[in-house]
Amino acid sequence: MGRSQQVAEEAVMSWVYLLSGGFALTVLVYLVLALFYPEKF
C-alpha cells in the first residue's frame, strides 16, 4: 500500500468519524429533549 493511498483512507475515515459523531450528537440531543419535553414529540 502506497503512502498516498493511506493518506486518502485516513481522510475518508476522518469524514466518517465526523459524520457519525454529528449524527450521534443529534440523536442524543433529540432523546434528551424528548425525555424532558415528551408533549412536544
Q: According to the model, what pLDDT value does residue 1 have? A: 57
Alpha helices in the chain (DSSP H): 3-36
Q: Is 14 exposed, middle or buried (0-12, 13-18, 19+ CB in 10 A)?
A: exposed
Q: According to the model, what pLDDT value does residue 9 have? A: 81
CA dihedral sign of residues 19, 21, 22, 28: positive
CA 7/CA 37 separation, integer angstroms: 45
CA 7/CA 38 separation, integer angstroms: 45
Taking 70 as the pLDDT cut, the residues of the chain under it are 1-2
Q: According to the model, what pLDDT value does residue 4 have? A: 74
Domain parsing of the chain, residue ranges? 3-40
Q: According to the model, what pLDDT value does residue 31 have? A: 96
Q: According to the model, what pLDDT value does residue 11 have? A: 80
